[in-house]
């Protein structure tokens, strides 16, 4: 396991990126466990079909007991303001689903992303953000998919700049990129 300094300061921001099924959620959950703090999980997913229901069930079972779960598909900054604290660690999984939700709600994704990054300095406890790195493949063939890739990429850049530590996970192996 790569070491992290989560739990050693009141406010510590971590970003964990990786592809689908790369091991990023499990890695992030382990970081939260190692912190020794109370664990809060902010789920951004929405159940639209049975496949998503099965994925959510699998994630819940993988996490196990000891997590307080908050389901919030859109108002991420507000939930973090309400949930973050020096006695707890918050894991947000995942930002790419949040971006999708914002796009489907026809929200201003860039403005919401700026608001999220701006809110980080006001948080009073550590937060781990999980997100899919979607910019490593071919250029998507349709406009909406390209817009999604671009929104996610810009959000990742802004969040990585503001984060204390950034990890990239591939094949279950972590690479510490910052911190």
Given the residues 59, 70, 151, 156, the one annotated as active site: 59
Which among 163, 149, 69 has a CA at the least distance from the CA of 116?
163
CA distance 124 to 22: 30
CA distance 62 to 49: 20
Strands 38-43 and 88-93: what pairing? parallel
State the burial class of residue 106 (Cβ atoms within 10 Å of its Cβ: 0-12, 13-18, 19+): exposed
User: 3-class SS at 8?
Assistant: coil
Which among 164, 162, 177, 72 has a CA at the least distance from the CA of 116?
162
CA distance 173 to 153: 22
Q: Is 59 a catalytic residue?
A: yes
Q: Cis ω on the peptide bond leading into residue 97 (within 30° of 0)? A: no
Residues that are catalytic: 59
């Amino acid at each position: 396991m790569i070491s992290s300094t989560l739990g050693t300061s009141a406010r510590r921001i971590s970003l964990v990126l990786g592809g689908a099924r790369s091991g990023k959620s499990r890695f992030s959950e382990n970081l939260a466990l190692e912190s020794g703090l109370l664990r809060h999980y902010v789920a951004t997913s929405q159940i639209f079909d049975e496949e998503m229901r099965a994925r959510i069930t699998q994630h819940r079972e993988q996490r196990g007991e000891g997590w307080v779960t908050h389901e919030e598909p859109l108002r991420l900054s507000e939930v973090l303001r309400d949930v973050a604290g020096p006695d707890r660690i918050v894991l947000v999984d995942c930002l790419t689903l949040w971006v999708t939700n914002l796009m489907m709600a026809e929200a201003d994704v860039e403005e919401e992303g700026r608001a999220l990054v701006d809110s980080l300095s006001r948080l009073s406890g550590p937060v781990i953000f999980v997100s899919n790195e979607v910019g490593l493949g071919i250029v998507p063939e349709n406009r909406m998919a390209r817009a999604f890739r671009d929104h996610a990429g810009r959000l990742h850049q802004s969040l990585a700049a503001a984060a204390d530590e950034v990890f990239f996970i591939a094949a279950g192996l972590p690479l510490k990129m910052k911190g």
